[in-house]
Structure 1
């Protein structure tokens, strides 16, 4: 459906504030608009003068600034050499129609403190509604409003930032761009269509110019400009809802097939890092950071997966991936080829562990530098196997320890810095053991099902590494569709709980395996990444959801740490 975007300009009517149509309380995502008449008028004056307008902050250290677009323009596939920078309308359209995209650039300055929320606001023109609004991407800043065309438009970078969904006419559309706005700087946003039902917006030349509202400190949206609910005192941010930004291609098998994931970090180009995900009914998949499947290995039925760097084999140091194969009750080992992001099987033999394997995690001893894999089963047995080069450039293993946890266990994670092993006993809670083979069976309860913060089953575990022993232990509380965060150091004190809800992609439910990394993974995930298996992926097969770590950190109260300094690629080297 195509519309003439020039028809949207300067539509006025009776009973309007300051001679302009009163914006409706409509949004795709983000906080509700709550302008008073005075604030609305002052904001309009500030934006007309090209100034940032400070919203009234609830605390002295918190503030919100609304920045006008410094440049905006649409580009049209049908007229690839035409420039529309001076037009008063922005538009997205696609599907069976020639595609139309729009670009907006903002110059952000005067922001002090941590950005707690950033919202891109667009006024939907009369007749500009759509059943499926645009997706937002970050894009390069090397374009000029007066010159940009379809042929030389800036390329989008990274994953989808937000997705508008259905929007109504004559109201403000709000898009959450928090994860790509981290302070002062220049920001370009690209609006890409998702259907042939086009959408029209006011450009900066029209009555209601686009805005970028940046909230800092404890202000998640500001006073009269934007308002958001405040957690009750002492809540600690429990139950914070985070939105997934990327999902992987569904696994190739239906039913309960996807299970666990591990993040592999590229040695020289973090933007080319990958996710290794298990399809436990038939194979192992490799995904890029946009969620696209790069490779699939239908050689086993892997339940869990983990990896470590710098494993010595064949005179080289490799990134070693290990899986638990439920069909043969054995361990499988693979080498990552950084040039192709593909896997090579380097197992010398089927490493039969003698129990019905399910859970698996790896460990590099900070004491000896030796590499280990832990495997668990439905009886509560956990075995520790040492991994080594068999002398021919292949990987073999020998059992060095057995633990009796009590009942079904799958999720586990070992801390390469502290030497701790965490095991999830599904119906009971989380236990902390020593990870060294000589540590024995002594254990400490971290948290419990029922009387603690967990709801059975307790599934995947992962560690977010920070500097100086800091960081977090994360657990999947599968029965409540939530994730629980604990301190990594000390007694693993409870920190917060969060869930992953629908955003640019659908939310996360009933998670089995998960992984997290603090590492900066290029423009897509510059402050780390959280990955979780999703049990109910709409009408599709199960898959994995990707969430920027800084989104999780920012939602907690007080915020969690964001520390990209620790490099897992140095462990074992």
Structure 2
């Protein structure tokens, strides 16, 4: 491996898990020793009360223009604000709204996560696609990418007849236990492309096959679902359940598939990082747990938060602080690489060995910190990395991370955005 291995490992082969309650006392101390890297650019701040819909930065994907790498794009979700498309200078080149409510009292479109399918013939011609989870309508939305299209690089090619993924009625959709996290996968054996969608407030993950529809549109069919655990047996024989609002289960959001072996890595926000087959068969394995694992907590209705209800029993992991958020895959030319995970609770990023044979060993971590001109990243929801030359600006690749607490232009408005980080600087920092 090109990154120096840590003496600490994060090999957890038990189907046990972790809670988002309070960060144990040693967490900030451990995280403070990690190296920092500074962004090179940042997008314009998004606000949650913009005219025409709430815009809240969430999850990015990096599309490489093979013919002209300098003209590559970052495609990012803005929840009710739809999609934003940026160039490598972090300047917006396109904004696409989320679909409106189907009726005045129904939920509006809400774009949560995005991933790419490259070189597919699904959209009526050989195309690259951006696939988005529409949490508001419980559907996938699909966009064809064409950097040279004068109307904009993204064109909506979603099958208008696409059905809800998890819900059976509009009332259920309005309750918003809907499509949430998302990752894509193309099976190298069959050539078929899939999306994996998780469900808000539930532990369910669905495997959806992407299929060509008439008129160059793209739809999907559900293949199967899998439910991760929502309760966990502790070493003392008791059962622990991650705290949440009444009726809510510990959900999954950040996901990524390793195309080399079809392994899905899924971040259960209050629990940890799971490893399982992308076809959702076989037994999931918990790679690492958050520090809050096993800590008793109770939901406080007045504050709308979970409060610790007992001492930390000490069963948690060493590297992650809930919530576990954006997962992305950092591949290397020699086949090595890393699963990069956002540890939202302590504003750090954690690297795990890509190799399943090494039990996805912990490899280190880092922070994205502020420079004199660009804010850092705090409370990161989503991340994307591409280890490939992107022209003159990013010859060693690019890391894009969401900033959940952007430096606002107006202090009374919630502000979010995305930071662009030279991947070479990240690799240099974690190797030192």
TM-score between both structures, scaled by the size of structure 1: 0.54
CA distance in 1, matches of 2:145, 2:425: 29
Runs (4+) of structure 1 moved beyond 4 Å? 235-238
CA distance in 2, matches of 1:245, 1:535: 18
What is the Cα deviation at residue 274 of structure 1?
0.8
CA distance in 2, matches of 1:237, 1:258: 26
Match of 1:416 among 253, 256, 259: 259
Residue 554 of structure 1 corresponds to 428
CA distance in 2, matches of 1:285, 1:333: 14
Residue 387 of structure 1 corresponds to 210
Residue 498 of structure 1 corresponds to 366
Residue 342 of structure 1 corresponds to 153
What is the Cα deviation at residue 557 of structure 1?
3.3
Residue 77 of structure 2 corresponds to 278
TM-score between both structures, scaled by the size of structure 2: 0.72
Unpaired runs of 5+ residues, structure 1, are 1-113, 115-234, 559-573
Asked whether the equivalents of residues 184 and 257 of structure 2 are also in contact (C-alpha less than 8 Å), the reply is yes
- Distance change (3 Å), C-alpha of 1:335 and 1:252: farther
CA distance in 2, matches of 1:502, 1:312: 42
Residue 56 of structure 2 corresponds to 257
What is the Cα deviation at residue 313 of structure 1?
2.6
CA distance in 1, matches of 2:352, 2:361: 5
CA distance in 1, matches of 2:163, 2:419: 31
Residue 429 of structure 1 corresponds to 272
Asked whether the equivalents of residues 79 and 111 of structure 2 are also in contact (C-alpha less than 8 Å), the reply is yes
User: Rg bigger for which structure?
Assistant: 1
Asked whether the equivalents of residues 238 and 496 of structure 1 are also in contact (C-alpha less than 8 Å), the reply is no
What is the Cα deviation at residue 311 of structure 1?
1.3
Residue 232 of structure 2 corresponds to none
- Distance change (3 Å), C-alpha of 1:263 and 1:314: closer
- Distance change (3 Å), C-alpha of 1:351 and 1:464: farther
Write out per-residue CA displacement over residues 13-45 of structure 1, whole angstroms, 9 at most, x where no aligned residue.
xxxxxxxxxxxxxxxxxxxxxxxxxxxxxxxxx
Write out per-residue CA displacement over residues 226-255 of structure 1, whole angstroms, 9 at most, x where no aligned residue.
xxxxxxxxx999511111111012235448
What is the Cα deviation at residue 357 of structure 1?
1.3
What is the Cα deviation at residue 418 of structure 1?
1.6
- Distance change (3 Å), C-alpha of 1:240 and 1:314: closer
Matches within 5 A, 1:402-413: 402-406=225-229, 407-413=250-256
CA distance in 2, matches of 1:520, 1:434: 30
Match of 2:416 among 542, 546, 568: 542
Write out per-residue CA displacement over residues 428-472 of structure 1, whole angstroms, 9 at most, x where no aligned residue.
10000011x3x5141112111113210000011000111343111
CA distance in 1, matches of 2:123, 2:270: 42
Unpaired runs of 5+ residues, structure 2, are 3-29, 100-109, 168-177, 230-249, 292-315, 410-414
- Distance change (3 Å), C-alpha of 1:332 and 1:236: closer
CA distance in 2, matches of 1:488, 1:389: 32
CA distance in 2, matches of 1:289, 1:315: 28
Residue 364 of structure 1 corresponds to 186
CA distance in 1, matches of 2:83, 2:329: 22
3-state SS in 2 of match to 1:555: helix
Residue 310 of structure 1 corresponds to 119
What is the Cα deviation at residue 267 of structure 1?
2.9
3-state SS in 2 of match to 1:486: strand
Larger relative contact order (Cα-Cα within 8 Å, sequence gap ≥ 6):
2
